[in-house]
Chains A and B, each alone.
Chain A
Amino acid sequence: MDYLEKIKESIKNTDSEMVIEFTKKALENNLEPEKIIYEALTPAMDYVGQEYEKGNLFLPEMLMSAETLKGAMEILKPLLVKTGVPKAGKVVMGTVEGDIHDIGKQIVCMMLEGAGFEVFDLGVDVPAQTFIEKIKQEKAEVVGMSAFLSTTALQFLEVIKKLKEANLTDKVKVMIGGAAASDRYAEMIGADGYGSNASAAVRLARELVERTR
């Protein structure tokens, strides 16, 4: 029986119980945790993300799949720590200073975690200096910033300015999102990319991590 396929189907069908059962069975059958992640969990979530971006799935359904995946991750995480499998990347996330909107950024955090990233969520109303300190402390490869309003989106620039001052622009890539952001705005302020939704943000984070390595 192909447990990897079963796990993928369980994630697509948002069947939390079955994903746990098949993950356990896959381990009992000597499948490596890394193989389960990269050949079942990641492709399943990629598929769900693509279907969401095409408009065939809706936000709650995509999030249900992500929640289903977490069941498998909880089993696999301790094993990964033992085997020392590297994370997909380190991302510092936050809503910029002056902005208190949270939920879009939280969705992105959850999707990034599901995709194997280590995420440091600084919350809302985050001063530029706090972003810089966390990036340095965690040696993050990507910083993701969110702003809802045109008045607060100006803070993206402040963080980018501080990254330049700290000579971090080669080591960390900047992605932006939220209602006040766009591809054009990202280009204009010198950010490395814009994620129009959570699934796109995960794709972008992967690309940006590649560029730092």
Chain B
Amino acid sequence: MSEIFTPETIIEAQEVLKFIPFFNREKAGLQSRVIINELVYEINNHRILKPQAIFETYRITEIDNDKIYLEGGEVLRGTLPSHLLKLAEEVITLVCTIGKDLEREVEHYYRKKKMVKAVLMDDIGNFALNLLAINICQIVGLNAEKKGYYTSKPLTPGLRGFPLEEQGNIYKLAKAQNTNISLTSHLMLDPRKSLSMVIGSSANPFNQTDNPLCTYCEGQGKCRYNKSSGPSER
């Protein structure tokens, strides 16, 4: 039975500064740091984050090279989940969001031609979504632990070997239609600051020394959050 979580999320400017690679460098401007502090205060004070998450667990009946067969006849497609979750007995489908208010703030700053604030607010949104995903994965992990199960790293559609088209499938499997998150005709999640993922669960531990997930990301080399990559926008 799926359950909707609405964890209260308070963010801290210091944590945001650590998350955005730009601020890890010595030369990062004082002006930007001041703006981040102002925006974080605004977000917390006006409760701009409206986090919501939902997940559902399915028993796996069979796994082949590019399909994971689930109880009830559902199928999850992709060579990456088949490979990385080959030891899994269950799969947890999960969708989460920080809500729409933050993107409205980004739009507000853009309309006022305050692009620096718009970009930094968007960065904070990415941080908040990442934080929410970590928190929800921890909840999933604790639930599994109660059964004596281990959990895998989360996998998001769009990684190499995990088609983006599966986002629609995960959305349906997680029963995300019961949340404030919707799916567009082109299988994008709305609000934009939303994520879908799958996590494997098993009585045996997963090999967590596998390559980091960035290895499978199609955006590798372009991502602002990957310290080894060059300049790029989202």
| Interfacial residues, chain A to chain B (CB-CB below 8 A) | 14, 52-53, 55-56, 58-61, 63-64, 66-67, 70, 97-104, 106-108, 110, 148-152, 177-179, 196-199
Q: Is the interface of A mostly helix, strand, loop or mixed?
A: helix
Decide if A59 touches B22 in the complex (CB within 8 Å). Answer: yes
Decide if B22 touches A99 in the complex (CB within 8 Å). Answer: no
Interface residues of B in 154-211 (CB under 8 A from A): 158, 164-165, 184-188, 190, 192
Q: B123 → chain A, closest Cβ, in Å?
A: 9
Q: Which residues of A contact B116 (CB under 8 A)?
A: 60, 63-64, 67
Q: A45 → chain B, closest Cβ, in Å?
A: 14
Decide if B222 touches A196 in the complex (CB within 8 Å). Answer: yes
Decide if A64 touches B31 in the complex (CB within 8 Å). Answer: yes
Contact A106/B234 with A100-B184, A149-B164 known, Cβ cut-off 8 Å: no
Nearest B-chain residue to A62, judged by Cβ: B231
Decide if B158 touches A149 in the complex (CB within 8 Å). Answer: yes
Q: Which residues of B contact A196 (CB under 8 A)?
A: 222, 230-232
Inter-chain CA distance A59–B233, complex, in Å, is 8
Decide if B164 touches A151 in the complex (CB within 8 Å). Answer: yes
Decide if A53 touches B164 in the complex (CB within 8 Å). Answer: no
Interface presence of B59 (CB below 8 A): no
Q: Which residues of A contact B119 (CB under 8 A)?
A: 59-60, 63, 103, 107
Decide if B231 touches A100 in the complex (CB within 8 Å). Answer: no
Q: Which residues of B contact A97 (CB under 8 A)?
A: 186
Decide if A55 touches B115 in the complex (CB within 8 Å). Answer: no
Q: Can you pick out 13 interface pairs between chain A and chain B where the beta carbons lie within 8 Å of each other? A: A53-B231, A59-B233, A60-B116, A66-B115, A100-B190, A103-B106, A103-B110, A149-B158, A151-B165, A152-B186, A178-B234, A196-B232, A198-B233
Q: Which residues of A contact B222 (CB under 8 A)?
A: 179, 196
Decide if B188 touches A55 in the complex (CB within 8 Å). Answer: no
Interface presence of B146 (CB below 8 A): no
Which residue from A63, A70, A149 sits with its C-beta under 8 Å from B186?
Answer: A149
Q: Which residues of A contact B192 (CB under 8 A)?
A: 100-101
Decide if A55 touches B234 in the complex (CB within 8 Å). Answer: no
Interface presence of B120 (CB below 8 A): yes
Nearest A-chain residue to B113, judged by Cβ: A70
Inter-chain CA distance A148–B233, complex, in Å, is 10
Q: B70 → chain A, closest Cβ, in Å?
A: 23
Inter-chain CA distance A98–B184, complex, in Å, is 7
Inter-chain CA distance A16–B119, complex, in Å, is 19
Inter-chain CA distance A14–B32, complex, in Å, is 12
Inter-chain CA distance A183–B224, complex, in Å, is 18
Contact A106/B110 with A58-B28, A179-B219 known, Cβ cut-off 8 Å: yes
Q: Which residues of B contact A108 (CB under 8 A)?
A: 233
Decide if A98 touches B185 in the complex (CB within 8 Å). Answer: yes
Decide if A98 touches B186 in the complex (CB within 8 Å). Answer: yes
Q: Which residues of A contact B122 (CB under 8 A)?
A: 103
Which residue from A14, A104, A150 sits with its C-beta under 8 Å from B164?
Answer: A150
Q: Which residues of A contact B234 (CB under 8 A)?
A: 101, 103-104, 148, 178-179
Inter-chain CA distance A106–B121, complex, in Å, is 14
Q: B79 → chain A, closest Cβ, in Å?
A: 16
Q: A180 → chain B, closest Cβ, in Å?
A: 8
Inter-chain CA distance A35–B168, complex, in Å, is 54
Contact A63/B115 with A148-B234, A149-B164, A197-B231 known, Cβ cut-off 8 Å: yes
